[in-house]
Amino acid sequence: MNQASSSLPPAATPYQRLAARGITLPASPAPVANFVSHVIVGNLLFLSGQGPVEVGGVKHTGKVGHDVSVGDAYRHAQLTGVNLLAVIHEALGDLGRVTRVVKLFGMVNAASDFNAHPQVINGCSDLMVDVFGVPGVHARSAVGFASLPDQITVEIEAIIAFE
């Protein structure tokens, strides 16, 4: 966890943890094709892939390992995590309902010789642990692709358990 969230009491809410990081949740990004942002089955929330899109609509694009550094891509994965949190908030009405981040599937728009996919997707993973604490620890895949929609640097989908 980062310094700000580690200084909060253990009972801090996800919203207090976000505020400690200086993060305000944006509106949930609208789907860009023929799909919905999430589906609920039982007590599982399945989130469609989100990308590194800023509040104003700017998309972070490029090939990680070629024209985008690992550090920049880490921050893009963190921004993608914020967008996932916005969808969770919209779907559940309260991030406090999350009982577990079950799984993240992280995709990196990577140069063919790039091999630091896990370090990139850590941007999202670290955010989930900072926001939810132990329930934020999750299973994960981090893989590279030759391209992603609109050449975004990362795309991440998630499965969330809730009450």
All domains in the chain, ordered by first residue: 14-28+36-162 (3.30.1330.40)
Centroid of chain to Cα 18? 13
pLDDT of 73 reads 98
Contact 162, 45 (CB under 8 A): yes
Please, what sign has the CA dihedral across residues 43, 38, 132, 119?
positive
Chain mean pLDDT for the chain: 95
The whole-angstrom separation of Cα 89 and Cα 85 is 6
- Average the pLDDT over 65-80 and give the result: 98
The pTM of the full predicted model, rounded to 2 decimals, is: 0.94
pLDDT of 9 reads 66
Task: Centre a 10 Å sphere on the Cβ of residue 84 and count the other Cβ atoms it contains.
Answer: 27
Task: Centre a 10 Å sphere on the Cβ of residue 36 and count the other Cβ atoms it contains.
Answer: 10
pLDDT of 3 reads 47
Residue 112 in this model has a pLDDT that exceeds 80 = yes
pLDDT of 32 reads 84
Residue 84 in this model has a pLDDT that exceeds 90 = yes
The whole-angstrom separation of Cα 63 and Cα 104 is 21
Tokens of 131: 């926001």
Task: Centre a 10 Å sphere on the Cβ of residue 24 and count the other Cβ atoms it contains.
Answer: 11
pLDDT of 124 reads 98
Listing from the earlier edge strand, what are the strands of the sheet with 44-50? Answer: 38-41, 44-50, 154-162, 98-109, 139-145
pLDDT of 1 reads 46
Q: What is the pLDDT of residues 125-137, one digit of tens each?
A: 999 999 999 999 9
| List of E strands, the chain | 38-41, 44-50, 98-109, 139-145, 154-162
Q: What is the pLDDT of residues 10-59, one digit of tens each?
A: 679 999 999 999 999 999 988 889 999 999 999 999 999 999 999 999 99
